Amino acid sequence: MTSIRFSAHARDNMQFRGAASDEVIEAIHLSEWGAAEAGRYECRKNFEFGGIWNGKYYATKQVRPIFVQENDEIIIVTVYVYYF
């Protein structure tokens, strides 16, 4: 299995935006990959949220990692999170 490594930038964004590392890993393993800018990849996965984020209730959280694949390693460059 390919190992997954998080950049410091990705970890900072995950904390700021409310994504957990297991959600990012699940998104990569279970979602379809697409092309992103600069030769990178992206995928998206929706998770049940049912909670408050920044003072507003949201039912769903979408996690969108941006990553590169190098030999036998996936490097997470950044992570976006959308609430709806």
Please provide residue 9's backbone torsions phi and psi, each rounded to the nearest 5 degrees: -60, -45
CA distance 44 to 67: 12
The whole model's pTM is what? Answer: 0.93
The DSSP letter of residue 39 is G
Contact 59, 40 (CB under 8 A): no
CATH fold for the domain made of 3-83: YaeB-like fold (3.30.2310)
Residue-range domain boundaries for the chain: 3-83
pLDDT at 75: 98
Indicate the burial class of 24 (C-beta count within 10 angstroms; 0-12, 13-18, 19 or more).
buried
What band does 33 get if pLDDT is binned at 50, 70 and 90? very high
Give the tens place of pLDDT for each residue, 43-84.
Answer: 999 999 999 999 999 999 999 999 999 989 999 999 999 999
